[in-house]
Amino acid sequence: MKVHILLVEDDKSLRSTLEERLMREGYRVSSAINLSGAREILEENLIDLILLDVGLPDGSGFEFVKDISKKASPPPFIFLTAMASAQDRLKGFELGAEEFIPKPFHLKELLLRINHVLKIHRRQEASDFQKAYFGDFTIDFNSFEVKHPNSSPISLTARDCGLLKLLIAERERVVSRDEILDRIWGEENFPTNRTIDNSIVRLRQILGEEGASAIKTIRSVGYRWVGQIQFEE
């Protein structure tokens, strides 16, 4: 599933340049030239990140983010604007902006900052969801159980459960074996790649036939979750 970015920019040339580069980097991009269009996109799509100007034809980007911040789980946002006085920057951060990037800016810098913001929010997501749904399976991270309507609940070890949650939370990328060892096994003596492999085998078996393909092995690197997953609202 591609990260979905909402771009709100009334400058046609800049909007076109950003759209092209972001899509080349693998992002899905929906664009609006004003706040009215941005609201329509937000109502119809699940947005992962908003990039927006402050001065727009039909209003202020400041007021826009103030409105969306009242909703449950608003997406993170980054301001891209020529309004870059100290007062403007402070107001942007007070409203919850992840970044405030003055125009003109270097595209590479923007991409690095986008990546940084998304990484932070992926880590937060890892601790936010407590239940996930994969096919007919319910994965309960509070009780360390996998439930299926046609069988008794299956208990997971704390580390198997932690590994599954990590892979699902970081599903946009490959998680290396080194990162898994560091984040799940920590300082335990003598964990090895075989330790991780055994945990993956158990998880695939527990999740049935589809489990084998849901956790993809990336040879010599690590693992990635590629299965369809839903979360409890």
Q: Which domains can be identified in the chain, with CATH numbers?
A: 4-127 (3.40.50.2300), 129-231 (1.10.10.10)
Q: Is the pLDDT of residue 232 over 90?
A: no
Looking at 17-21, 76-80, 125-129, 201-205, which range is the least confident one? 125-129
What share of the chain has pLDDT > 70, as a percent? 93
Residue type (1 letter), 147: K
> What pLDDT, on the 0 to 100 scale, is given for residue 126?
54
Looking at 109-123, 179-193, 212-226, which range is the least confident one? 179-193
How far apart CA 113 and CA 26 sit, in angstroms, is 15
With beta carbons less than 8 A apart as the criterion, state whether 51 and 7 touch: yes
Q: Is the pLDDT of residue 14 over 80?
A: yes
Q: CB-based burial of residue 41 (10 Å sphere; 0-12 exposed, 13-18 middle, 19+ buried)? A: middle
With beta carbons less than 8 A apart as the criterion, state whether 18 and 7 touch: yes
**Residue, of 63 and 126, whose pLDDT is higher:** 63
**Residue, of 128 and 154, whose pLDDT is higher:** 154
With beta carbons less than 8 A apart as the criterion, state whether 168 and 229 touch: yes
Task: Taking residues 24-47, report their average pLDDT.
Answer: 93
> What pLDDT, on the 0 to 100 scale, is given for residue 191?
67
How far apart CA 122 and CA 125 sit, in angstroms, is 5
With beta carbons less than 8 A apart as the criterion, state whether 33 and 50 touch: no
> What pLDDT, on the 0 to 100 scale, is given for residue 72?
60
Q: How many Cβ atoms from other residues are within 10 Å of residue 101's Cβ? A: 20
Both tokens assigned to 135 = 């096919």
Residue 166 falls in which region: left (phi positive, over 0), alpha (psi -120 to 50) or beta: alpha
> What pLDDT, on the 0 to 100 scale, is given for residue 110?
95
Whether the bond between 57 and the residue before it is cis, its omega within 30 degrees of 0, is no
- Global pTM value: 0.57
Instruction: Kindly report the backbone phi and psi dihedral angles of residue 101, in degrees, each rounded to the nearest multiple of 5, phi listed first.
Output: -105, 115
> What pLDDT, on the 0 to 100 scale, is given for residue 179?
86
